[in-house]
Structure 1
Amino acid sequence: MTTLAVRGLHVRYGERTVLDDVSFEVGPGEILGFVGANGAGKTTTMRAVLGMVVPDAGDVLVDGAPIDAARRRRIGYMPEERGLYPRMRVGDQLAHLARLHGLDRTAARAAALRWTTRLGVADRLGDPVERLSLGNQQRVQLAAALVHDPDLLVLDEPFSGLDPVAVGVMAAVLREAAARSVPVLFSSHQLDLVQRLCDRVGIIAGGRMVAVGTVDELRADAPVRYRLVSSPLPDGWGRDLPGVVDVVRCPLGIELELADDAPETAATVLRAGVAAATVTEFTRIRPDLTDLYREVIGA
């Protein structure tokens, strides 16, 4: 079973630091979602794993050993930009790529058929890539990453431009790869999808990996917030209560940031709310990945 480890990657282009001590791991059968703004360093990190970018410092390790050409051939890579020959037929192209990875002619043709069938584009095997819709081109790109049954998947924005049905198909394929103990690293701007699909999330900003963990682990570092829905409360109510850091009006009432998540702190706020108004709801707000991302990067 394969493990990818990235250790202390530094990349500079002239005076500009693109990656600054980026480190993370993707274990066997784990799906790690890599998120960040455009230019944050996601693609550069992936290209460093593939050897397309040579870092100024740091290491890329597979199963504890420095990655080499033979191990890189066992990676399935899907670039964000189109990486296919536009005038070449889909079936010929996938079989050609499979043969480059060591499959014989018969096995390569069988793999091309298997993956295009799984991804719903087997009826386009004889068509040039340029005649396919952008969504179907994306499916063929994923087939190209999978056609040699790789030990590791590195996918840059694989869900870009896909309709909901295609998103579901691609997500299922990534889960199937993980079920075979393949580590999966993929980037996406669709944070709701990342939250649903990934075991862990890595957030990169300004070339630095600023957070890595499960959504629940990232939530543990988020501010403690409660929503209190009640009859009208006076402006500024709650700001002087013990343990209250901030109070913000919301459409249904107020949201309070507390200093800690101790039950007694929340109980104190609730008692004060009941004494001051008719309270119909007092709920801990569980931030989703979008909220956590904004907290982490300070947006």
Structure 2
Amino acid sequence: MEAFNLTSSDLPTFILNGIPGLEAAHIWISIPFSMSYIISLLGNFIILFVVAREQTLHKPMYLLLCMLALTDIGMSTCVMPKALCIFWFSFKGITLDGCLTQMFFLYFFSTMQSSILVTMAFDRYVAICDPLRYATILTNARIAKLGLVGLIRAVLLILPVPLLLQRLPFCTNRVIPHTYCEHITVVKISCGDITVNRTYSMGITFVIIGLDLTLIGLSYGLIIRAVLRISSKKAHQKALNTCTAHICVMLMTYTPFLFSALTHRLGEGIASHVHILLANLYLLVPPMINPIIYGVKTKELRDKVGKYTCRT
């Protein structure tokens, strides 16, 4: 069987097959996909616009919310335009450079998002457990530095993923049974030794998700301990209400991701189209829901958004 190497000058074109088994329903599937994408873009751009325009919102919490909105836009935009081209026009071809670029930015934005959620948990911890020092501990400059640290971490952890993939040989099978270049799916169609790729993929998943969830859990453990020491029930409720939006966003972000990752690695009996739908929902639902959650739960932001959207 003839193989080609991804580092050769004759670079191959892969075929993104969409959702195998549901090709006849691609047009119908594209309707909720496109609507979710439009809603997510609209919601996140509204947040960016309002925070940029309103000087009173130039605070650490809202800067973090803007960072989250940018990662939401980036994650969904890495995938949805190409997926919709597959559904609407059957434009299934993707070059090697396009596949590796899509893969890098998708996982880069995902890793950045996880870092931002950790920083948000730290923000809530300081706000509740050390409120008198909040303004001095979490300044806008410090939030920017934490964002830069998250960006550097994302680049260092994710850059080896496409670089390691480049070294793999591929045989005659160039069909990727997915709507985008998901790493594990592309690796599986290689006819070379994929041990290093799988090991590195599992390693960074454990490092990113395991470490970040541990830090978030530690923050909320300390928050709960501080809240339980407060005697007033009204103060209890006020303290916990400040965390509600962040907890909802975390559940919307990590739950679909973990479920999708587990079905890929452990759910051998699950149909391939279920894997692919879950992988797409993870990139569609959180970016669409996150602006709604913060818009509903954060009164100051809700009032400012209303100021612009209710103008006649």
The TM tier, using the shorter chain, reads under 0.3
Q: Judging by fraction of residues, say which structure has more helix.
A: 2
Which has the higher Rg, Structure 1 or Structure 2?
1
TM-score with structure 1 length normalisation?
Answer: 0.22
- Specify which structure has the bigger relative contact order, considering alpha-carbon pairs within 8 angstroms and separated by 6 or more residues: 2
